[in-house]
Structure 1
Amino acid sequence: MKRSLHLALPSIDSLIVFEQAAHFLSFTKAGQHLGLTQSAVSRQMIDLEALLQVALFTRDKRRVQLTPAGGEFREMVRPIVRDLRSATLRMRFRQAQTGVLNLSVAASFCNLWLIPRLPRYYRDEAAPRVNVTPHVGAVRFGDGQFDAAIVNADRPPPDCESIRLLDIELAPYGATALLAELKAGRLQDLPRIPALDLREGEGAWLTYLSQVGLPHIPVDYVGSNSMLWVNHEAALAGLGIALLPSHFVEREVTQGRLVRLHPATFSIGRSYYYCWPSHQAKSEAVQHLGNWLKDSLVES
Protein backbone atom coordinates (compact mmCIF):
# COMPACT_ATOMS: atom_id res chain seq x y z
CA MET A 1 0.00 0.00 0.00
CA LYS A 2 2.78 2.47 0.92
CA ARG A 3 4.57 1.77 -2.35
CA SER A 4 1.49 2.31 -4.48
CA LEU A 5 0.72 5.58 -2.64
CA HIS A 6 4.26 6.80 -3.22
CA LEU A 7 4.08 6.01 -6.93
CA ALA A 8 0.82 7.94 -7.22
CA LEU A 9 2.41 11.21 -6.06
CA PRO A 10 4.26 13.60 -8.37
CA SER A 11 7.86 14.46 -7.54
CA ILE A 12 8.74 17.78 -5.93
CA ASP A 13 10.80 18.63 -9.01
CA SER A 14 7.79 18.19 -11.29
CA LEU A 15 5.64 20.42 -9.06
CA ILE A 16 8.29 23.17 -9.08
CA VAL A 17 8.65 22.92 -12.87
CA PHE A 18 4.85 22.99 -13.30
CA GLU A 19 4.51 26.06 -11.06
CA GLN A 20 7.13 27.92 -13.10
CA ALA A 21 5.64 26.86 -16.44
CA ALA A 22 2.23 28.00 -15.23
CA HIS A 23 3.73 31.30 -14.07
CA PHE A 24 5.54 32.11 -17.34
CA LEU A 25 3.11 30.27 -19.67
CA SER A 26 6.24 29.28 -21.50
CA PHE A 27 8.25 26.08 -21.27
CA THR A 28 11.27 27.94 -22.63
CA LYS A 29 11.19 30.72 -20.00
CA ALA A 30 10.47 28.23 -17.22
CA GLY A 31 13.48 26.22 -18.33
CA GLN A 32 15.71 29.30 -18.42
CA HIS A 33 14.61 30.20 -14.88
CA LEU A 34 15.26 26.68 -13.58
CA GLY A 35 18.38 25.89 -15.61
CA LEU A 36 16.60 23.30 -17.79
CA THR A 37 16.09 22.94 -21.52
CA GLN A 38 12.70 23.56 -23.09
CA SER A 39 12.45 19.89 -24.00
CA ALA A 40 13.18 18.83 -20.39
CA VAL A 41 10.36 21.05 -19.12
CA SER A 42 8.01 19.72 -21.80
CA ARG A 43 8.84 16.12 -20.91
CA GLN A 44 8.25 16.76 -17.19
CA MET A 45 4.84 18.26 -17.97
CA ILE A 46 3.88 15.34 -20.20
CA ASP A 47 4.82 12.91 -17.44
CA LEU A 48 2.90 14.96 -14.85
CA GLU A 49 -0.21 15.03 -17.01
CA ALA A 50 0.06 11.27 -17.51
CA LEU A 51 0.32 10.75 -13.75
CA LEU A 52 -2.65 13.01 -13.01
CA GLN A 53 -4.57 11.73 -16.05
CA VAL A 54 -5.62 15.26 -16.96
CA ALA A 55 -4.42 17.91 -19.44
CA LEU A 56 -2.79 20.82 -17.63
CA PHE A 57 -1.81 22.86 -20.71
CA THR A 58 -3.02 23.50 -24.22
CA ARG A 59 -0.10 23.78 -26.63
CA ASP A 60 0.51 25.35 -30.02
CA LYS A 61 3.69 26.38 -31.79
CA ARG A 62 3.82 29.86 -30.23
CA ARG A 63 2.63 29.46 -26.66
CA VAL A 64 1.08 27.30 -23.96
CA GLN A 65 -2.04 28.06 -21.92
CA LEU A 66 -3.40 26.55 -18.72
CA THR A 67 -6.51 24.46 -19.03
CA PRO A 68 -9.22 24.95 -16.39
CA ALA A 69 -7.84 21.86 -14.63
CA GLY A 70 -4.32 23.29 -14.93
CA GLY A 71 -5.42 26.57 -13.35
CA GLU A 72 -7.09 24.70 -10.50
CA PHE A 73 -4.03 22.52 -9.97
CA ARG A 74 -1.76 25.58 -9.93
CA GLU A 75 -3.78 27.18 -7.11
CA MET A 76 -3.35 24.00 -5.08
CA VAL A 77 0.36 23.60 -5.87
CA ARG A 78 1.46 27.22 -5.44
CA PRO A 79 1.30 27.30 -1.58
CA ILE A 80 3.10 23.94 -1.41
CA VAL A 81 6.00 25.25 -3.50
CA ARG A 82 6.03 28.56 -1.59
CA ASP A 83 6.14 26.82 1.80
CA LEU A 84 8.87 24.49 0.59
CA ARG A 85 10.99 27.45 -0.53
CA SER A 86 10.33 29.25 2.76
CA ALA A 87 11.31 26.20 4.84
CA THR A 88 14.49 25.71 2.83
CA LEU A 89 15.53 29.36 3.15
CA ARG A 90 14.75 29.36 6.86
CA MET A 91 16.99 26.36 7.46
CA ARG A 92 19.78 27.87 5.38
CA PHE A 93 19.47 31.15 7.27
CA ARG A 94 19.45 29.29 10.59
CA GLN A 95 22.68 27.53 9.67
CA ALA A 96 24.28 30.81 8.59
CA GLN A 97 23.17 32.58 11.78
CA THR A 98 24.61 30.19 14.37
CA GLY A 99 26.85 33.00 15.66
CA VAL A 100 24.05 35.57 15.75
CA LEU A 101 21.89 36.23 18.80
CA ASN A 102 18.17 36.74 18.21
CA LEU A 103 17.12 39.08 21.02
CA SER A 104 13.63 40.21 22.03
CA VAL A 105 13.70 43.47 23.99
CA ALA A 106 11.02 45.34 25.95
CA ALA A 107 10.11 48.26 23.68
CA SER A 108 11.03 51.14 26.02
CA PHE A 109 14.39 49.62 27.01
CA CYS A 110 15.04 48.85 23.33
CA ASN A 111 14.39 52.36 22.03
CA LEU A 112 15.72 54.43 24.91
CA TRP A 113 18.71 52.45 26.19
CA LEU A 114 19.85 49.55 23.99
CA ILE A 115 19.76 50.93 20.44
CA PRO A 116 21.69 54.14 21.27
CA ARG A 117 24.44 51.99 22.85
CA LEU A 118 24.73 49.22 20.26
CA PRO A 119 27.45 51.07 18.30
CA ARG A 120 29.58 50.96 21.45
CA TYR A 121 28.83 47.23 21.82
CA TYR A 122 30.03 46.54 18.27
CA ARG A 123 33.37 48.21 18.89
CA ASP A 124 34.37 44.86 20.34
CA GLU A 125 35.11 42.85 17.20
CA ALA A 126 34.49 39.62 19.12
CA ALA A 127 30.95 40.70 20.08
CA PRO A 128 28.30 38.33 18.64
CA ARG A 129 25.95 39.98 16.16
CA VAL A 130 22.51 40.76 17.60
CA ASN A 131 19.17 40.76 15.78
CA VAL A 132 16.89 43.01 17.88
CA THR A 133 13.09 42.72 17.98
CA PRO A 134 11.16 45.09 20.30
CA HIS A 135 8.18 43.62 22.16
CA VAL A 136 5.46 44.50 24.64
CA GLY A 137 4.39 41.88 27.18
CA ALA A 138 5.69 38.39 27.93
CA VAL A 139 8.19 36.47 25.77
CA ARG A 140 8.00 32.74 25.07
CA PHE A 141 11.09 30.79 24.07
CA GLY A 142 9.29 27.58 23.07
CA ASP A 143 9.09 28.29 19.33
CA GLY A 144 12.84 28.88 19.00
CA GLN A 145 12.37 32.36 17.53
CA PHE A 146 14.46 34.07 20.22
CA ASP A 147 17.68 33.06 21.95
CA ALA A 148 17.37 35.60 24.76
CA ALA A 149 15.18 38.49 25.88
CA ILE A 150 15.11 41.63 28.00
CA VAL A 151 11.77 41.91 29.78
CA ASN A 152 10.03 44.36 32.09
CA ALA A 153 8.61 42.33 35.01
CA ASP A 154 7.93 42.39 38.74
CA ARG A 155 9.94 39.19 39.27
CA PRO A 156 12.41 37.01 37.33
CA PRO A 157 10.65 35.16 34.49
CA PRO A 158 9.95 31.49 35.28
CA ASP A 159 11.52 28.51 33.50
CA CYS A 160 14.64 30.34 32.32
CA GLU A 161 17.97 31.73 33.50
CA SER A 162 17.99 35.46 34.22
CA ILE A 163 20.02 38.47 35.35
CA ARG A 164 18.40 41.51 36.93
CA LEU A 165 19.70 44.44 34.94
CA LEU A 166 17.93 47.52 36.23
CA ASP A 167 15.25 48.40 38.79
CA ILE A 168 12.74 50.82 37.32
CA GLU A 169 13.12 53.93 39.47
CA LEU A 170 11.46 57.11 38.26
CA ALA A 171 12.15 60.81 38.68
CA PRO A 172 10.38 63.87 37.22
CA TYR A 173 11.70 65.34 33.96
CA GLY A 174 10.41 68.09 31.72
CA ALA A 175 11.45 69.69 28.43
CA THR A 176 13.70 72.72 28.93
CA ALA A 177 11.65 74.77 26.46
CA LEU A 178 8.34 73.95 28.22
CA LEU A 179 9.69 74.86 31.66
CA ALA A 180 11.14 78.11 30.34
CA GLU A 181 7.82 78.98 28.71
CA LEU A 182 5.93 78.34 31.96
CA LYS A 183 8.66 79.97 34.09
CA ALA A 184 8.84 76.77 36.14
CA GLY A 185 11.77 74.75 37.36
CA ARG A 186 10.83 73.04 40.62
CA LEU A 187 8.46 70.24 41.53
CA GLN A 188 6.52 72.78 43.62
CA ASP A 189 5.53 74.40 40.32
CA LEU A 190 3.60 71.27 39.31
CA PRO A 191 0.16 72.96 39.56
CA ARG A 192 1.26 75.15 36.60
CA ILE A 193 2.80 72.29 34.58
CA PRO A 194 0.81 69.60 32.77
CA ALA A 195 1.79 66.07 33.87
CA LEU A 196 2.02 62.84 31.90
CA ASP A 197 0.70 59.75 33.67
CA LEU A 198 2.07 56.22 33.25
CA ARG A 199 -0.56 53.49 33.33
CA GLU A 200 2.07 50.86 34.16
CA GLY A 201 2.90 52.81 37.33
CA GLU A 202 -0.67 53.49 38.41
CA GLY A 203 -0.82 56.26 41.00
CA ALA A 204 2.90 56.95 40.58
CA TRP A 205 2.61 60.72 40.69
CA LEU A 206 0.56 60.74 43.90
CA THR A 207 2.90 58.26 45.56
CA TYR A 208 5.98 60.18 44.44
CA LEU A 209 4.64 63.51 45.71
CA SER A 210 3.79 61.93 49.05
CA GLN A 211 7.26 60.39 49.24
CA VAL A 212 8.99 63.76 48.73
CA GLY A 213 6.77 65.57 51.24
CA LEU A 214 4.45 67.29 48.76
CA PRO A 215 1.25 65.22 49.10
CA HIS A 216 -1.16 68.14 48.72
CA ILE A 217 0.12 69.51 45.40
CA PRO A 218 -2.55 69.04 42.72
CA VAL A 219 -1.64 67.25 39.50
CA ASP A 220 -3.00 68.46 36.14
CA TYR A 221 -2.86 65.34 33.94
CA VAL A 222 -2.54 66.07 30.22
CA GLY A 223 -2.55 62.41 29.19
CA SER A 224 -1.93 58.80 30.19
CA ASN A 225 0.44 56.53 28.29
CA SER A 226 1.09 52.81 28.47
CA MET A 227 4.86 52.78 27.95
CA LEU A 228 7.85 54.65 29.36
CA TRP A 229 9.04 55.21 25.80
CA VAL A 230 5.82 57.07 24.89
CA ASN A 231 6.05 59.21 28.04
CA HIS A 232 9.67 59.98 27.17
CA GLU A 233 8.76 61.16 23.67
CA ALA A 234 5.81 63.18 24.97
CA ALA A 235 7.98 64.88 27.58
CA LEU A 236 10.63 65.71 24.98
CA ALA A 237 7.93 67.20 22.74
CA GLY A 238 6.93 69.53 25.58
CA LEU A 239 3.50 68.02 26.29
CA GLY A 240 4.19 67.82 30.02
CA ILE A 241 6.55 66.50 32.68
CA ALA A 242 6.91 62.76 33.15
CA LEU A 243 8.32 60.30 35.66
CA LEU A 244 11.17 58.57 33.80
CA PRO A 245 14.16 56.32 34.64
CA SER A 246 17.36 58.34 34.84
CA HIS A 247 19.15 55.69 32.74
CA PHE A 248 16.82 56.49 29.85
CA VAL A 249 17.39 60.26 29.76
CA GLU A 250 21.14 60.68 30.31
CA ARG A 251 21.74 61.91 26.76
CA GLU A 252 18.82 64.38 26.77
CA VAL A 253 19.86 65.82 30.15
CA THR A 254 23.47 66.21 28.97
CA GLN A 255 22.24 67.94 25.80
CA GLY A 256 20.07 70.29 27.87
CA ARG A 257 16.82 69.08 26.32
CA LEU A 258 15.37 67.67 29.56
CA VAL A 259 15.57 69.00 33.12
CA ARG A 260 15.17 66.97 36.31
CA LEU A 261 12.80 68.67 38.76
CA HIS A 262 13.68 66.75 41.97
CA PRO A 263 16.59 64.49 43.06
CA ALA A 264 14.41 61.77 44.66
CA THR A 265 13.46 58.59 42.80
CA PHE A 266 10.41 56.37 43.07
CA SER A 267 10.34 52.59 42.44
CA ILE A 268 7.32 51.06 40.71
CA GLY A 269 8.32 47.58 41.91
CA ARG A 270 9.42 46.32 38.49
CA SER A 271 12.79 45.62 36.92
CA TYR A 272 14.36 44.83 33.57
CA TYR A 273 15.64 41.25 33.39
CA TYR A 274 17.92 39.67 30.81
CA CYS A 275 16.75 36.07 30.42
CA TRP A 276 17.34 33.00 28.25
CA PRO A 277 16.33 29.30 28.14
CA SER A 278 18.24 27.07 30.55
CA HIS A 279 19.62 24.87 27.77
CA GLN A 280 20.74 27.48 25.25
CA ALA A 281 22.74 26.34 22.23
CA LYS A 282 24.25 29.81 21.88
CA SER A 283 25.29 30.06 25.52
CA GLU A 284 28.63 31.75 24.75
CA ALA A 285 26.93 34.54 22.78
CA VAL A 286 24.24 34.88 25.46
CA GLN A 287 26.83 35.25 28.21
CA HIS A 288 28.89 37.74 26.18
CA LEU A 289 25.91 40.05 25.72
CA GLY A 290 24.86 39.61 29.37
CA ASN A 291 28.31 40.65 30.60
CA TRP A 292 28.27 43.71 28.34
CA LEU A 293 24.80 44.72 29.56
CA LYS A 294 25.83 44.49 33.22
CA ASP A 295 29.08 46.39 32.68
CA SER A 296 27.35 49.13 30.67
CA LEU A 297 24.67 49.67 33.30
CA VAL A 298 27.29 49.88 36.07
CA GLU A 299 29.25 52.47 34.05
CA SER A 300 26.15 54.59 33.50
Structure 2
Amino acid sequence: MKRGFIPPIDSLIAFESAARHGSFTRAAEELFLTQGAVSKQVRLLEARLGVELFKRVRQRIVLTDAGRLYLHDIKGTLEKMTTATRQVMSFGGSEDVLNLAVLPTFGTRWLAGRLPRFHERYPEASFNLAVRLRPFDFEAEPFDGAIHYGEPVWAGAIAEPLFHEEVVPVCSRHFRDRHGLTKPEHLCTALRLHQSTRPDAWQRWFLQADVETDLAFQGPRFDQFTMISQAAVAGLGVALVPKFFIEEELRSGSLVMLFGVTLKLPSAYHFVYPENRTIRPVVKAFKSWLQEEAKDQKDREIMLPG
Protein backbone atom coordinates (compact mmCIF):
# COMPACT_ATOMS: atom_id res chain seq x y z
CA MET A 1 0.00 0.00 0.00
CA LYS A 2 1.55 3.30 -1.12
CA ARG A 3 1.41 5.84 1.69
CA GLY A 4 1.02 8.70 -0.78
CA PHE A 5 -2.31 7.29 -1.97
CA ILE A 6 -3.90 7.33 1.51
CA PRO A 7 -5.60 10.66 2.32
CA PRO A 8 -5.44 12.07 5.86
CA ILE A 9 -7.94 10.36 8.15
CA ASP A 10 -9.42 13.74 9.24
CA SER A 11 -10.39 14.46 5.63
CA LEU A 12 -11.98 11.03 5.20
CA ILE A 13 -13.97 11.38 8.42
CA ALA A 14 -15.18 14.85 7.44
CA PHE A 15 -16.21 13.64 3.98
CA GLU A 16 -18.07 10.58 5.32
CA SER A 17 -19.97 12.62 7.91
CA ALA A 18 -20.90 15.37 5.42
CA ALA A 19 -22.02 12.77 2.87
CA ARG A 20 -24.11 10.91 5.44
CA HIS A 21 -25.82 14.10 6.65
CA GLY A 22 -25.91 15.91 3.31
CA SER A 23 -24.71 18.97 5.17
CA PHE A 24 -21.42 20.53 6.27
CA THR A 25 -23.21 22.16 9.19
CA ARG A 26 -24.61 18.91 10.60
CA ALA A 27 -21.28 17.17 10.03
CA ALA A 28 -19.57 19.95 11.98
CA GLU A 29 -22.02 19.47 14.88
CA GLU A 30 -21.33 15.73 14.92
CA LEU A 31 -17.55 16.16 14.79
CA PHE A 32 -17.39 19.17 17.17
CA LEU A 33 -15.81 21.31 14.46
CA THR A 34 -16.77 24.49 12.67
CA GLN A 35 -18.53 24.35 9.34
CA GLY A 36 -15.52 26.02 7.77
CA ALA A 37 -13.19 23.33 9.13
CA VAL A 38 -15.32 20.52 7.66
CA SER A 39 -15.59 22.33 4.33
CA LYS A 40 -11.83 22.87 4.27
CA GLN A 41 -11.12 19.17 4.94
CA VAL A 42 -13.42 18.17 2.08
CA ARG A 43 -11.78 20.67 -0.28
CA LEU A 44 -8.36 19.31 0.64
CA LEU A 45 -9.58 15.77 -0.05
CA GLU A 46 -11.02 16.79 -3.42
CA ALA A 47 -7.74 18.49 -4.32
CA ARG A 48 -5.77 15.41 -3.34
CA LEU A 49 -8.02 13.08 -5.35
CA GLY A 50 -8.35 15.44 -8.28
CA VAL A 51 -12.13 14.94 -8.46
CA GLU A 52 -15.20 16.78 -7.23
CA LEU A 53 -17.00 14.85 -4.50
CA PHE A 54 -19.89 17.25 -3.88
CA LYS A 55 -21.94 19.63 -5.99
CA ARG A 56 -22.76 22.81 -4.12
CA VAL A 57 -26.42 23.56 -4.88
CA ARG A 58 -27.60 26.72 -3.11
CA GLN A 59 -27.55 25.83 0.59
CA ARG A 60 -27.16 22.09 0.00
CA ILE A 61 -24.42 19.68 -0.93
CA VAL A 62 -25.11 16.73 -3.24
CA LEU A 63 -22.74 13.83 -3.88
CA THR A 64 -21.37 13.51 -7.38
CA ASP A 65 -21.15 10.09 -9.02
CA ALA A 66 -17.49 9.93 -7.96
CA GLY A 67 -18.49 10.96 -4.44
CA ARG A 68 -21.11 8.21 -4.16
CA LEU A 69 -18.62 5.60 -5.35
CA TYR A 70 -15.93 6.83 -2.95
CA LEU A 71 -18.36 6.89 -0.01
CA HIS A 72 -19.42 3.32 -0.74
CA ASP A 73 -15.80 2.14 -0.82
CA ILE A 74 -14.45 3.92 2.27
CA LYS A 75 -17.43 3.69 4.63
CA GLY A 76 -16.82 0.04 5.51
CA THR A 77 -13.12 0.71 6.03
CA LEU A 78 -13.80 3.54 8.48
CA GLU A 79 -16.28 1.37 10.38
CA LYS A 80 -13.72 -1.45 10.60
CA MET A 81 -11.08 0.98 11.88
CA THR A 82 -13.49 2.22 14.56
CA THR A 83 -14.37 -1.32 15.63
CA ALA A 84 -10.71 -2.39 15.67
CA THR A 85 -9.73 0.64 17.78
CA ARG A 86 -12.48 0.05 20.33
CA GLN A 87 -11.58 -3.61 20.54
CA VAL A 88 -7.90 -2.90 21.17
CA MET A 89 -8.84 -0.31 23.81
CA SER A 90 -10.99 -2.92 25.58
CA PHE A 91 -7.86 -4.92 26.41
CA GLY A 92 -6.68 -2.19 28.77
CA GLY A 93 -3.27 -3.85 28.96
CA SER A 94 -4.78 -7.21 29.90
CA GLU A 95 -4.38 -10.52 28.12
CA ASP A 96 -7.57 -11.88 29.72
CA VAL A 97 -10.00 -10.61 27.10
CA LEU A 98 -12.21 -13.12 25.29
CA ASN A 99 -13.42 -12.24 21.82
CA LEU A 100 -16.30 -14.61 21.09
CA ALA A 101 -18.64 -15.08 18.15
CA VAL A 102 -22.04 -16.35 19.28
CA LEU A 103 -25.38 -17.31 17.79
CA PRO A 104 -27.94 -14.66 18.80
CA THR A 105 -30.54 -16.74 20.64
CA PHE A 106 -27.93 -19.03 22.19
CA GLY A 107 -26.06 -15.99 23.45
CA THR A 108 -29.18 -14.33 24.83
CA ARG A 109 -31.07 -17.31 26.24
CA TRP A 110 -28.33 -19.69 27.36
CA LEU A 111 -24.87 -18.15 27.57
CA ALA A 112 -25.44 -14.64 28.96
CA GLY A 113 -27.18 -15.82 32.12
CA ARG A 114 -24.31 -18.19 32.91
CA LEU A 115 -21.41 -15.80 32.32
CA PRO A 116 -21.45 -14.49 35.94
CA ARG A 117 -20.47 -18.00 37.06
CA PHE A 118 -17.42 -17.92 34.78
CA HIS A 119 -16.60 -14.40 35.98
CA GLU A 120 -16.62 -15.64 39.58
CA ARG A 121 -14.10 -18.32 38.65
CA TYR A 122 -12.00 -16.06 36.41
CA PRO A 123 -12.60 -12.48 37.68
CA GLU A 124 -9.82 -10.98 35.57
CA ALA A 125 -11.56 -11.96 32.34
CA SER A 126 -13.64 -9.59 30.24
CA PHE A 127 -15.73 -10.31 27.16
CA ASN A 128 -16.35 -9.00 23.69
CA LEU A 129 -19.30 -10.85 22.17
CA ALA A 130 -20.48 -10.43 18.59
CA VAL A 131 -23.09 -12.24 16.53
CA ARG A 132 -22.00 -14.50 13.70
CA LEU A 133 -24.50 -16.82 12.02
CA ARG A 134 -22.12 -18.78 9.80
CA PRO A 135 -18.56 -20.15 9.94
CA PHE A 136 -15.86 -17.60 9.15
CA ASP A 137 -12.09 -17.48 8.70
CA PHE A 138 -10.35 -17.11 12.06
CA GLU A 139 -7.39 -15.60 10.23
CA ALA A 140 -9.58 -12.78 8.95
CA GLU A 141 -11.73 -12.25 12.08
CA PRO A 142 -10.30 -11.33 15.51
CA PHE A 143 -12.13 -14.02 17.50
CA ASP A 144 -10.70 -16.47 20.03
CA GLY A 145 -13.60 -18.85 19.58
CA ALA A 146 -17.19 -19.24 18.44
CA ILE A 147 -20.39 -21.08 19.25
CA HIS A 148 -21.39 -23.15 16.22
CA TYR A 149 -24.53 -25.16 15.54
CA GLY A 150 -24.42 -27.93 12.99
CA GLU A 151 -21.90 -30.56 12.02
CA PRO A 152 -18.41 -30.38 13.62
CA VAL A 153 -16.95 -29.03 10.38
CA TRP A 154 -15.15 -25.66 10.37
CA ALA A 155 -12.12 -25.01 8.18
CA GLY A 156 -9.00 -24.22 10.19
CA ALA A 157 -10.71 -24.81 13.54
CA ILE A 158 -11.18 -27.44 16.22
CA ALA A 159 -14.80 -28.18 17.18
CA GLU A 160 -15.55 -29.38 20.72
CA PRO A 161 -19.10 -30.78 21.09
CA LEU A 162 -21.36 -29.25 23.74
CA PHE A 163 -24.87 -30.72 23.45
CA HIS A 164 -27.71 -31.52 21.08
CA GLU A 165 -31.02 -29.72 20.83
CA GLU A 166 -34.15 -31.29 22.25
CA VAL A 167 -37.01 -29.45 20.58
CA VAL A 168 -40.56 -29.47 21.88
CA PRO A 169 -43.87 -28.23 20.44
CA VAL A 170 -45.14 -25.24 22.42
CA CYS A 171 -47.89 -22.64 22.20
CA SER A 172 -49.84 -20.35 24.46
CA ARG A 173 -52.36 -21.94 26.80
CA HIS A 174 -55.14 -19.95 25.11
CA PHE A 175 -54.15 -21.20 21.64
CA ARG A 176 -54.05 -24.79 22.88
CA ASP A 177 -57.51 -24.59 24.47
CA ARG A 178 -59.11 -22.60 21.63
CA HIS A 179 -58.00 -25.14 19.02
CA GLY A 180 -58.55 -28.23 21.19
CA LEU A 181 -55.00 -29.52 20.78
CA THR A 182 -55.17 -32.79 22.67
CA LYS A 183 -53.52 -35.21 20.20
CA PRO A 184 -50.41 -34.97 18.01
CA GLU A 185 -52.50 -35.34 14.84
CA HIS A 186 -54.33 -32.12 15.73
CA LEU A 187 -51.16 -30.23 14.79
CA CYS A 188 -51.68 -31.18 11.14
CA THR A 189 -54.29 -28.44 10.83
CA ALA A 190 -53.01 -25.98 13.47
CA LEU A 191 -50.85 -23.07 12.35
CA ARG A 192 -47.26 -24.24 12.76
CA LEU A 193 -44.37 -21.80 13.09
CA HIS A 194 -41.06 -22.75 11.45
CA GLN A 195 -37.46 -21.77 12.19
CA SER A 196 -35.85 -21.08 8.83
CA THR A 197 -32.54 -22.82 9.63
CA ARG A 198 -34.40 -26.00 10.72
CA PRO A 199 -36.64 -26.41 7.65
CA ASP A 200 -37.41 -30.11 8.18
CA ALA A 201 -37.95 -29.98 11.96
CA TRP A 202 -41.74 -30.34 11.78
CA GLN A 203 -41.49 -33.21 9.31
CA ARG A 204 -39.10 -34.98 11.67
CA TRP A 205 -41.42 -34.32 14.61
CA PHE A 206 -44.45 -35.79 12.82
CA LEU A 207 -42.41 -38.90 11.99
CA GLN A 208 -41.37 -39.14 15.64
CA ALA A 209 -45.04 -38.81 16.67
CA ASP A 210 -46.07 -41.46 14.09
CA VAL A 211 -48.37 -38.99 12.33
CA GLU A 212 -48.72 -39.01 8.54
CA THR A 213 -49.25 -35.63 6.88
CA ASP A 214 -48.42 -33.80 3.66
CA LEU A 215 -48.66 -30.41 5.40
CA ALA A 216 -45.46 -30.52 7.49
CA PHE A 217 -43.75 -27.69 5.61
CA GLN A 218 -46.67 -25.24 5.67
CA GLY A 219 -46.60 -22.20 7.93
CA PRO A 220 -44.75 -18.91 8.46
CA ARG A 221 -40.97 -18.91 8.90
CA PHE A 222 -38.76 -16.95 11.30
CA ASP A 223 -35.02 -16.33 11.27
CA GLN A 224 -34.45 -16.61 15.02
CA PHE A 225 -35.84 -18.65 17.89
CA THR A 226 -36.45 -15.45 19.86
CA MET A 227 -38.95 -14.29 17.26
CA ILE A 228 -40.67 -17.64 16.89
CA SER A 229 -40.98 -18.01 20.68
CA GLN A 230 -42.53 -14.57 21.09
CA ALA A 231 -44.93 -15.26 18.23
CA ALA A 232 -46.02 -18.43 20.02
CA VAL A 233 -46.42 -16.54 23.31
CA ALA A 234 -48.63 -14.02 21.48
CA GLY A 235 -50.89 -16.86 20.30
CA LEU A 236 -49.96 -16.98 16.61
CA GLY A 237 -49.44 -20.73 16.48
CA VAL A 238 -47.40 -23.74 17.60
CA ALA A 239 -43.60 -23.57 17.51
CA LEU A 240 -40.89 -26.22 17.72
CA VAL A 241 -38.29 -24.73 20.03
CA PRO A 242 -35.29 -26.08 21.96
CA LYS A 243 -36.45 -26.59 25.53
CA PHE A 244 -33.47 -24.82 27.09
CA PHE A 245 -34.32 -21.60 25.16
CA ILE A 246 -37.77 -21.29 26.73
CA GLU A 247 -37.30 -22.39 30.33
CA GLU A 248 -38.56 -19.05 31.66
CA GLU A 249 -41.70 -19.10 29.49
CA LEU A 250 -42.50 -22.68 30.51
CA ARG A 251 -42.09 -21.86 34.19
CA SER A 252 -44.26 -18.75 33.94
CA GLY A 253 -46.92 -20.55 31.89
CA SER A 254 -46.77 -18.13 28.95
CA LEU A 255 -45.89 -21.21 26.88
CA VAL A 256 -47.03 -24.79 27.43
CA MET A 257 -45.58 -28.00 26.01
CA LEU A 258 -47.90 -30.15 23.95
CA PHE A 259 -47.97 -33.92 24.36
CA GLY A 260 -44.92 -35.94 25.34
CA VAL A 261 -43.22 -36.14 21.96
CA THR A 262 -39.84 -34.44 21.88
CA LEU A 263 -37.33 -34.45 19.06
CA LYS A 264 -33.54 -34.59 19.36
CA LEU A 265 -32.01 -33.22 16.17
CA PRO A 266 -28.82 -34.82 14.82
CA SER A 267 -26.82 -31.58 14.73
CA ALA A 268 -25.27 -30.16 17.89
CA TYR A 269 -23.77 -27.04 19.42
CA HIS A 270 -19.98 -26.82 19.42
CA PHE A 271 -17.30 -24.54 20.77
CA VAL A 272 -14.81 -23.92 17.98
CA TYR A 273 -11.40 -22.26 18.14
CA PRO A 274 -8.46 -21.83 15.74
CA GLU A 275 -6.32 -24.93 15.32
CA ASN A 276 -3.13 -23.09 14.28
CA ARG A 277 -3.08 -20.58 17.13
CA THR A 278 -1.69 -21.08 20.63
CA ILE A 279 -4.68 -21.21 22.93
CA ARG A 280 -4.39 -18.54 25.61
CA PRO A 281 -5.04 -19.48 29.26
CA VAL A 282 -8.28 -17.48 29.40
CA VAL A 283 -9.59 -19.29 26.30
CA LYS A 284 -8.61 -22.67 27.74
CA ALA A 285 -10.36 -21.79 31.00
CA PHE A 286 -13.49 -20.68 29.15
CA LYS A 287 -13.54 -23.87 27.08
CA SER A 288 -13.31 -26.05 30.20
CA TRP A 289 -16.01 -24.05 31.97
CA LEU A 290 -18.28 -24.14 28.92
CA GLN A 291 -17.94 -27.92 28.69
CA GLU A 292 -18.89 -28.23 32.39
CA GLU A 293 -21.98 -26.08 31.83
CA ALA A 294 -22.90 -28.14 28.78
CA LYS A 295 -22.57 -31.39 30.74
CA ASP A 296 -24.82 -29.95 33.42
CA GLN A 297 -27.32 -29.01 30.72
CA LYS A 298 -27.34 -32.58 29.41
CA ASP A 299 -27.48 -34.24 32.83
CA ARG A 300 -30.14 -32.32 34.68
CA GLU A 301 -33.82 -33.11 34.25
CA ILE A 302 -35.83 -29.90 34.07
CA MET A 303 -39.24 -30.37 35.65
CA LEU A 304 -41.42 -27.80 33.90
CA PRO A 305 -45.21 -27.54 33.64
CA GLY A 306 -46.63 -28.86 30.40
Report TM bin, short chain.
0.5 to 0.7
Alignment of 1:293 with 2:264, yes or no, is no
Of 277-286 and 207-216, the range deviating more from structure 2: 277-286
Of 117-126 and 195-204, the range deviating more from structure 2: 117-126
Any unmatched runs of 5+ in structure 1?
1-5, 20-32, 34-64
Alignment partner for residue 198 of structure 1, among 192, 195, 211? Answer: 195
Alignment of 1:72 with 2:43, yes or no, is yes
Q: Deviations over 1:62-89 (max 9, x none)?
A: xxx88x9986336678x9xx89x96777
Q: Counterpart amino acid of 1:134? A: V
Q: State the superposition RMSD in angstroms.
A: 3.8
1:168-207 → structure 2 map (5 Å cutoff):
168-191=165-188, 193-207=190-204
Alignment of 1:238 with 2:235, yes or no, is yes
Report the equivalent of 2:161.
Answer: 164
Shift of 1:127: 6.3
1:125-140 → structure 2 map (5 Å cutoff):
125-126=122-123, 128-140=125-137
1:90-169 → structure 2 map (5 Å cutoff):
91-94=88-91, 96-126=93-123, 128-169=125-166
Q: Counterpart amino acid of 2:134? A: G
Q: Secondary structure at the match of 1:201?
A: coil
Alignment partner for residue 225 of structure 1, among 215, 222, 227? Answer: 222
Q: Counterpart amino acid of 1:184? A: L
Query: Rg larger in 1 or in 2?
Result: 1
CA distance, structure 2, for counterparts of residue 76 and residue 70 of structure 1: 10
Q: How many residues end up aligned between the 2 structures? A: 240
Quick check: 1:105–1:150 contact (8 Å CA) kept in 2? Answer: yes
Report the equivalent of 2:28.
Answer: none
Report the equivalent of 2:56.
Answer: none
Report percent identity of matched pairs.
21
Quick check: 1:139–1:149 contact (8 Å CA) kept in 2? Answer: no
Cα gap change, 1:70 to 1:132, in 2 (>3 Å): closer
Report the equivalent of 1:3.
Answer: none
- Calculate the TM-score normalised by the size of structure 2: 0.64
